């Protein structure tokens, strides 16, 4: 089993979530993705979490829209870290999913990122794994430094435009 497993409530969430897998692969973290729903495939979702636990998965990322219970349901079945991504779908544009994902009862945490926060979910998962992996920690430090450089380059280009 890969170190990180992404579970999503529907294939309609996938376009929002592709950056999870892309970012993890960029960082050299093994990852896979499955469509499994807390409401529509509860038995299969539970069985998959058990399979991942046995297979050594380190972090679960769970993404869903509307009444988004997937992350909480997964957290109920594992003591591994669970990161929740509320997805903006449906008439409330993700506000419903945000509250459903973040408001967990004490003792069963879900580390909830922003609505559609795919990249941050991936980076957070990598950071969790990096607490026991120095090589990955160094990769993350470099990744953050390259992000800084990109912003500085953008500012430089803006200053050049402004100065005509």
Distance, in Å, from the CA atom of 139 to the CA atom of 164, rounded to the nearest integer, reads 38
- Span from 59-67, 99-107, 111-119, 147-155 in contact with ligand RP5 (CB under 6 A): 59-67
- Span from 48-56, 64-72, 99-107, 153-161 in contact with ligand RP5 (CB under 6 A): 64-72
What SS3 state is found at 127? helix
Q: Are 53 and 1 in contact (CB under 8 A)?
A: no
Distance, in Å, from the CA atom of 57 to the CA atom of 142, rounded to the nearest integer, reads 25
Residue 156 CB, nearest approach to ligand RP5 (Å): 40
Residue 106 CB, nearest approach to ligand RP5 (Å): 25
Does residue 13 touch ligand RP5 according to CB under 6 A? Answer: yes
Phi-psi region at 28: left, alpha or beta (left = phi > 0; alpha = psi -120 to 50): left
Residue 51 CB, nearest approach to ligand RP5 (Å): 21
Q: Are 35 and 10 in contact (CB under 8 A)?
A: yes
Does residue 65 touch ligand RP5 according to CB under 6 A? Answer: yes
Which residues sit at the interface with ligand RP5, rule CB under 6 A?
A: 9-10, 12-13, 37, 64-66, 87, 89
């Amino acid at each position: 089993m890969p170190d990180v497993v992404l579970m999503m409530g529907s294939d309609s969430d996938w376009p929002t979530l592709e950056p999870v897998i892309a970012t993890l692969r960029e960082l050299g973290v093994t990852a896979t993705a499955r469509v499994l729903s807390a409401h529509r495939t509860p038995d299969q979702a539970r069985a998959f979490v058990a399979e991942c636990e046995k297979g050594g998965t380190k972090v679960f990322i769970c993404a869903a829209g509307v009444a988004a219970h997937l992350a909480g349901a997964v957290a109920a079945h594992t003591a591994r870290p669970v990161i929740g991504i509320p997805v903006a779908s449906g008439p409330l544009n993700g506000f419903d999913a945000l509250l459903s994902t973040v408001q967990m009862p004490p003792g069963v945490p879900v580390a909830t990122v922003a609505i559609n926060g795919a990249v941050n979910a991936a980076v957070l998962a990598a950071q969790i794994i990096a607490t026991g992996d120095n090589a990955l920690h160094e990769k993350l430090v470099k990744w953050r430094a390259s992000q800084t450089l990109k912003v500085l380059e953008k500012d430089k280009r803006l200053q050049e435009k402004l100065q005509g």
